């Protein structure tokens, strides 16, 4: 149980285009989903926390107008990278939990974004 999927697993796009990444909890309802970005040396940066039906909470330094997060249902959250630039190229990972950060998080397999 507790499976989280992401789609697509890999995406290549041109600079200036927008890319949508989906995160789904397949067998449980996730009240909270988290979006991370992987940086060099394997560090993970929390970008934002989203709760179903409310606006996402962005971490300091993360542009909310550039990284649009929608948590439309208890099983789906989306991250849209708007007007992507090469520096947005990264590995984006989502996780989902039942009751927020203090509870167990189940991680998705990640989406690798390459912006040309």
Partner 1 sequence: EDKVVQSPLSLVVHEGDTVTLNCSYEVTNFRSLLWYKQEKKAPTFLFMLTSSGIEKKSGRLSSILDKKELFSILNITATQTGDSAVYLCAVEANNDMRFGAGTRLTVKP
Question: Half-sphere exposure of residue 42, counting CA atoms within 13 Å on the CB side?
Answer: 0
Residue 112, H or E segment: strand 111-115
Element (H, E) at 33: strand 32-38
Q: What residues from 7 to 26 belong to the interface with partner 1 (CB under 8 A)? A: 9-10
According to CB under 8 A, which residues from 72 to 91 bind partner 1? 91
Cβ closest to partner 1, residue 36 vs residue 67: 36
Which of 48, 106, 113, 115 touches partner 1 by CB under 8 A? 106
Choose, by CB under 8 A, the member of 48, 105, 113, 115 that binds partner 1: 105
Contacts of residue 107, defined as CB under 8 A and 6 or more positions apart, other chains included, come to: 4, 93, 94, 95
Compare residues 10 and 55 and give the one whose CB is closer to partner 1. Answer: 10
CA dist 92 and 39 (Å) reads 10
Please report whether residue 28 would count as binding partner 1 according to CB under 8 A: no
- Tell me if residue 96 falls in helix, strand or coil: strand
Q: Using the rule CB under 8 A, which residue among 59, 64, 99, 114 binds partner 1?
A: 59
Query: Is 54 a binder of partner 1 (CB under 8 A)?
Result: no
């Amino acid at each position: 149980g507790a499976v989280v999927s992401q789609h697509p697993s890999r995406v290549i796009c041109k600079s200036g285009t927008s890319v949508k990444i989906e995160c789904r909890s397949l067998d449980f309802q996730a009240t909270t989903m988290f979006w991370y970005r992987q940086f060099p040396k394997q560090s993970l940066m929390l970008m934002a926390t989203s709760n179903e039906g409310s606006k996402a909470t962005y971490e300091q330094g993360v542009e909310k107008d550039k990284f649009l997060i929608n948590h439309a249902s208890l099983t789906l959250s989306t991250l849209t990278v708007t007007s992507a630039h090469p520096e947005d190229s990264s590995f984006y990972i989502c996780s989902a939990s039942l009751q927020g950060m203090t509870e167990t998080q189940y991680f998705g397999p990640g989406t690798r974004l390459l912006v040309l």
